[in-house]
Amino acid sequence: MSDTEIIKGKVKTVFTTSEPDKVLIQYEDKVTAGNGKKVDYPQGKGQVCMKISELLFQTLEKYGISTHYLDTFPERIMSCKKVEIIPIEVVVRNVAAGSIVRQTTLEEGKVINWPLVEYFLKMMRRMTLYLQKTVLD
């Protein structure tokens, strides 16, 4: 692992490598809820998320869709091409909780029979959360 951390998110950390056009992504054994207010560290979670990402990237490549994926290493590290990303957050919900309950008529704990997938531009999500906090304060 390189010594130079480029960016650290809630569940992934990106590091430089000796090759300037490549990075290493370390998937953390961490889960968050409530925009980071609730945190837990389940052992093996990072490896599971890395394996899911690996499968998705390999499937995209199989169908001719280029990705930044290069390879994975044991445990929870992925080698990728260094790229500029579109900062999108994907939230998959199987049970109603958090903001979906506050913003809709769904009751807390209601099982969502078909997973609800939401996409957020991370910058917009941060701005929305800031505005909500400002209004509530």
Show the CA angle centred on residue 89, arms to residues 44 and 62, nearest 5°: 70
Using one digit for the tens of pLDDT, what is the confidence trace for 106-132? 999 999 998 889 888 876 655 555 555
Q: Are residues 56 and 105 in the same domain?
A: no
Q: Which of these, 107, 64, 82, lies nearest to 21 by C-alpha position? A: 82
In whole angstroms, what is the distance from residue 78 CA to residue 47 CA? 10
Q: Are residues 15 and 74 in the same domain?
A: yes
Residue 108's domain comprises 88-136
Q: Are residues 70 and 26 in the same domain?
A: yes
Q: Is 0.75 topped by the overall pTM? A: no
- Model pLDDT, residue 87: 82
Q: Are residues 9 and 57 in the same domain?
A: yes
- Model pLDDT, residue 99: 83
Q: Please give the torsion angle defined by the CA atoms of residues 128, 130, 131 and 135, in that order, rounded to the nearest 10 degrees.
A: 140
- Model pLDDT, residue 27: 95
43: domain CATH number is 3.30.200.20
Q: Are residues 93 and 61 in the same domain?
A: no
Q: Are residues 45 and 105 in the same domain?
A: no
**Bigger pLDDT: 51 or 129?**
51
The span from the first CA to the last CA of the chain, in angstroms, equals 42
Q: Are residues 69 and 104 in the same domain?
A: no
- Model pLDDT, residue 67: 95
Q: Are residues 95 and 73 in the same domain?
A: no
- Model pLDDT, residue 126: 54
Least confident of 37-41, 86-90, 114-118: 86-90
Q: How far is CA 126 from the centre of its chain?
A: 15
Last residue of a domain, one of 81, 103, 118: 81
* Average pLDDT over the chain, rounded to an integer: 86
Question: DSSP letter string over 4-30?
Answer: -EEEE-SSEEEEE-SSTTEEEEEEPS-
Q: Are residues 75 and 99 in the same domain?
A: no
- Model pLDDT, residue 92: 87
**Bigger pLDDT: 98 or 27?**
27
What is residue 80's three-state secondary structure?
strand
User: Total domain count for the chain?
Assistant: 2
- Model pLDDT, residue 133: 52
Q: Are residues 33 and 69 in the same domain?
A: yes
* Placement of tokens 């445990």 in the chain: 75
Q: Are residues 38 and 99 in the same domain?
A: no
